[in-house]
């Protein structure tokens, strides 16, 4: 599975980094997105949601809701993302509403747990 981690982090204590490591351990192709990092966990990091080559099977979002609305808009603009996971803390009502309005297949749950890992 090709997984774009939106809000990937260089800080190993943050869930945006734990997700990168969990998906790598499970053998997935991971595409981290963070405008302030060149690489995360030895993977090339993309500065914008539009930058990773597609198609993307799953986008998993680790951003505060005030930024999350713009993130789901950018994900929708790509037009090649199969599903969007809004992880706990990123799943504010305004983000969910916008994602649904845009017609994104959205799941509100921990994507790390979904792949059989513990955060």
- In a 10 Å sphere around its CB, with 0-12 CB exposed, 13-18 middle and 19+ buried, how is residue 35 labelled? exposed
Average pLDDT over residues 9-25: 99
Average pLDDT over residues 36-65: 98
Residue among 104, 114, 96 at smallest CA distance from 1: 114
- What average pLDDT does the structure give for the chain? 98
Give a yes or no: residue 79 inside a domain: yes
Give a yes or no: residue 119 inside a domain: no
* Rounded distance between C-alpha atoms, residue 26 and residue 76, angstroms: 26
Share of the chain above pLDDT 90, in %: 99
Give a yes or no: residue 53 inside a domain: yes
pTM over 0.85: yes
User: Domain with 51 in it: what CATH number?
Assistant: 3.40.50.720
* Rounded distance between C-alpha atoms, residue 85 and residue 90, angstroms: 9
Average pLDDT over residues 30-59: 99
pLDDT value at residue 97? 98
């Amino acid at each position: 599975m090709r997984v774009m981690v939106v809000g990937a982090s260089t800080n190993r204590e943050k869930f945006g980094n734990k997700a990168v490591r969990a998906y790598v351990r499970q053998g997935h192709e991971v595409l981290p997105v963070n405008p302030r990092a060149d690489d995360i966990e030895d993977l090339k990091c993309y500065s914008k949601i539009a930058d990773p080559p597609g198609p993307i099977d799953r986008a998993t979002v680790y951003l505060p809701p005030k930024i999350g609305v713009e993130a789901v808009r950018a994900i929708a603009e790509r037009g090649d993302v199969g599903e969007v996971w809004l992880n706990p803390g990123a799943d504010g009502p305004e983000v969910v509403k916008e994602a649904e309005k845009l017609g994104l297949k959205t799941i509100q749950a921990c994507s790390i747990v979904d792949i059989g890992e513990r955060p």
